[in-house]
Copies of this chain bind each other. A is one copy, B any other.
Amino acid sequence: MVNETQHTCSASSSSKSDGGSSSGSESSKDSSRCSTPVLDADRHERLREKMRRRQDSGDKWFSLEFFPPRTANAAVNLISRFDRMGTGGPLFIDVTWHPAGDPGSDKETSSMIIANTAVNYCGLETILHMTCCNQTKDDITGHLQKAKRLGLKNIMALRGDPVGEEWEEEVDGFNYAVDLVKHIRNEFDDYFDICVAGYPKGHPEAESYEADLRHLKEKVLAGADFIITQLFFRSETFLKFMKDCQAIGITCPIIPGIFPIQGYHSLRQLVKLSKLEVPQEIKDVIEPIKDNDAAIRNYGVELAVSMCRELLDSGMVHGLHFYTLNREVATTEVLKRLGIWKEDPRRPLPWAVSAHPKRRVEDVRPIFWASRPKSYIYRTQEWDDFPNGRWGNSSSPAFGELKDYYLFYLKSKSPREELLKMWGEELTGEESVFEVFTCYITGEPNRNGHKVTCMPWNDDPLATETNLLKEQLEKVNRRGILTINSQPNINGKPSTDPIVGWGPSGGYVFQKAYLEFFTSSEIVTALLKVLKKYELRVNYHIVNVKGQNITNAPDLQPNAVTWGIFPGREIIQPTVVDPVSFLSWKDEAFALWIEQWAKLYEEESPSRMIIQYIHDNYYLVNLVDNDFPLENCLWQVVDDTFELLN
């Protein structure tokens, strides 16, 4: 496609034939390019622009609704669900507002904090619901300010359910969603994208269907950017509603709310709340199978798929909004059958990108937090600038303090008993620790028959990429090189490679081999002798808990270990080994021995003392093989070290 760029110079700034022509000094002023290479345009667009672009390109999309959980444990599970369902490529998720659950508070189960986690830690475009009735202007403004501060950019403006039976309009108060829409636009100008609710059958309290349509139009005129509808049971219901909206001049996107029936009770409860009528043909199917959850879910999926197909086939619908009820299976199934679940989600960068607007230029991180990305985001949340292009350009990296809170929050998926089964009820020596590491790598059960599916430094089973190194990793862990992070070298694989690829297609990705491990001072002594032979080829950083630090890195320079070359772009180098950040990571990595592992055991117990001994005496080592086009030499380095010790 031949584009005339926006930048096209007018003839007035062109060269004059006397050669003394004015040059780019004016023409460059109107340059609107951004300072980051826009690997994914998405990162720089607001939600309404993304929606518009998808509509223009004919690319169908979906979104997912969740409600805040009741317990901290449920929150941890919900966040894992965000991560998993995020891989399917929702355009956004939304989090409902629970007036009864202190929704604007800092509690880890509040609507505000769940939405914050979705944006910042899971990298999801997120809409936070907000209801206005029975709240003061100051309360509302406070919530909105907080949402803005946390990086939330989208609000679903709702009236909410009045408290008590008798509801009276308050003068100057928030009586309807439209008041909230106006308030947001008054106080925050165009900062938020605003969504409002539409009722395909009319709001149950509205005088009439027509009156309700007029209310909806008022909300749009007050500044709403798009509409999500209440659930409905027949596609005709929605399509008629949409035509009626258009007929009275509502032109913004209207997104159908899809409710896959997942069980008899949840359906009944929803019907009661929404005051909707379930069509007879559905009742006829469900009633006879009401005690068979699987059968109902299968029917619900079937029904949702066929209704969604009708909607998409109508040509009027570009996106589908799913009421998930915080469940995964039914919705995922519907999306997969519709073919709009992204089977091969392209990664814009090798690590999960945060959706906070402050971080939109961020494109390089230290490799150390590769398995703890949420910790990295948490510890850098106060940064004003994120490194973009070059790590060294960022101001000196001041990492937020390590707090117990964070060491555990989002981390305690496995209860203590589970961890003890994996990591050993009783340790008999350093070798028992080696064994735990080895079992984690191999996936084999430990001597008590339990698989080791996580480690203090790795919340999840081994990454696919690390699997490439499995055999060597097993060998070295057995002998006390306790690996916590590694990557193979890659010399120009296509950016679409299913394992190591990232970024837009048509590019090439590269990596330097990396290995990070804890090991004893005895092994470190031998290792240092061996490393002399590899002086120019291998960069190393070796540090103990006290901060004794041995390195051959020149001038504290970061070493780029992952980079990509793309058509028409500058080089992207998303991962570096940064000597300065390594010292912050060191504190965290050593602390995890104690906080996650040692504290499983009684004080003064032999098991606890073994972990404490490792914490106090081992070194944390990282190695980079700079010769990425050659065979990875780090295994040879380790072999040479063991040989020297023998």
Interface residues of A (CB under 8 A from B): 1-11, 13-15, 17-25, 27-29, 31-38, 41, 379, 388-393, 396-404, 407, 491-492, 505-506, 508, 510, 528, 531-532, 535-537, 539, 543, 545-560, 563, 565-571, 573, 576, 579-581, 583-584, 586-588, 590-592, 594-595, 612, 615-616, 624, 626-629
Contacts and interface: CB of A to CB of B under 8 A. Distances in A.
Top 3 nearest A-B pairs by Cβ distance? A9-B547, A24-B584, A389-B390
Which of A15, A18, A20 lies at the interface centre, i.e. has the most chain B CB atoms within 10 A of its CB? A15
A594 B18 CA distance: 7
B17 A615 contact: yes
B398 A583 contact: no
Contacts of A38: 554-555, 557
Contacts of A549: 4-5, 7-9
A620 to B, nearest CB: 11
B7 A568 contact: no
B33 A580 contact: yes
A1 B554 contact: no
Given A24-B584, A587-B24, A571 B560 contact: yes
B388 A393 contact: yes
Contact of A545 (B14, B399, B590, B592): B14
Contacts of A569: 554, 557-560
B587 A392 contact: no
A247 to B, nearest CB: 38
Looking at A24, A28, A551, the one whose CB has the most chain B CB atoms below 10 A away is A24
A628 B565 contact: yes
Contacts of A616: 17
A407 B20 CA distance: 9
B563 A559 contact: no
A563 B573 CA distance: 12
Contacts of A579: 5, 7
A155 to B, nearest CB: 29
A520 B390 CA distance: 41
A538 to B, nearest CB: 9
A563 B506 CA distance: 18
A75 to B, nearest CB: 22
A152 to B, nearest CB: 26
A212 to B, nearest CB: 42
Contacts of A560: 565, 569-571
A25 B629 CA distance: 36
A414 B19 CA distance: 20
A402 B26 CA distance: 13
A230 to B, nearest CB: 39
Contact of A23 (B35, B392, B587, B615): B587
A552 B2 contact: yes
B2 A528 contact: yes
Contacts of A20: 401-404, 591
Contacts of A17: 594, 612, 615-616
A6 B580 CA distance: 11
Contacts of A1: 532, 535, 552
